[in-house]
């Protein structure tokens, strides 16, 4: 595993005290003990294992080619492997360099979810799945979970008219998301997910919040049903 920066260490101590990092793995102690990598939370290419957070990433500025490459695609909610493949194709087509696809686990609400994203120049996370909508929803109160889900779907449709870089993660990781992953192709990531769910059909990451066996959340199911 790549060494974490001092800023990342302090960030984890303050905002993720349940997470402990050593040179071989990340241990999450709440809501129960989980280890990355492990059979339940696998990673490929372990020497490249890295942690990306709000404090060790930066927003992309003054890079019109990267912005054009990111904006030209239509990304789909819940399709992180396909979305990352699209980013790779665009960055390659525009002859950009210093980018790698990562596959691993993101922590948003305590439980790791399998995920794929792009890292550019080692300090920029590009992730169409995490958007300003997530931040808006976190700042508001709702009478019920169903009301919140309906608002998410409404906002998703409203934001679709904006350029991707204006509301999707374009360089700096959101402060409420932690990325733990390693260099890996999106297709291999897709295979890892399928094999993991096949081996662990009751995987704890995909048992709550209405998630179906394919890892699609209730919100995503609502979004595609309309």
Reported as a single tens digit per residue, the pLDDT across 22-39 is: 988 999 998 899 999 999
- Where b means 16+ CB within 10 Å and e means fewer, 31-47 reads eeebebbeeebbbbeee
Q: Write out pLDDT tens, residues 163-195.
A: 999 999 999 999 999 999 999 999 999 999 999
Q: Write out pLDDT tens, residues 146-156.
A: 777 777 777 77
34-36, strands of its sheet edge to edge: 19-21, 26-28, 34-36
Q: Which residue has the tokens 């990306």?
A: 52
Question: Is omega for the bond preceding 31 within 30 degrees of 0, making it cis?
Answer: yes
Enter the pTM of the model: 0.88
**pLDDT reading at 210 higher than 60:** no
């Amino acid at each position: 595993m790549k060494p974490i920066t001092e800023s990342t260490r302090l960030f984890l101590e303050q905002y993720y005290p349940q997470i402990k990092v050593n040179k071989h793995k990340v241990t999450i102690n709440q809501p129960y003990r989980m280890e990355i990598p492990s059979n339940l939370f696998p990673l490929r290419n372990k020497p490249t294992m890295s942690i990306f957070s709000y404090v060790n990433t930066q927003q992309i500025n003054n890079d019109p080619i990267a912005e054009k490459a990111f904006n030209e695609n239509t990304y789909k909610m819940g399709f992180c492997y396909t979305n990352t493949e699209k980013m790779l194709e665009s960055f390659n087509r525009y002859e950009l360099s210093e980018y790698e696809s990562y596959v691993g686990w993101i922590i948003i609400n305590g439980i790791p979810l399998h995920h794929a994203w792009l890292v550019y120049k080692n300090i920029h996370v590009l992730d169409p799945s995490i958007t300003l909508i997530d931040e808006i929803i976190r700042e508001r109160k709702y009478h019920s979970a169903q009301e919140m889900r309906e608002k998410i779907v409404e906002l998703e449709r409203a934001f679709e008219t904006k350029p991707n870089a204006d509301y999707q993660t374009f360089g700096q990781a959101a402060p409420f998301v932690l990325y733990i992953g390693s260099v890996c192709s999106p297709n291999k990531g897709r295979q890892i997910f399928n094999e993991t769910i096949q081996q662990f059909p009751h995987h704890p990451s995909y048992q709550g919040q209405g998630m179906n066996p394919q890892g699609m959340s209730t919100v995503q199911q609502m979004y595609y049903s309309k």
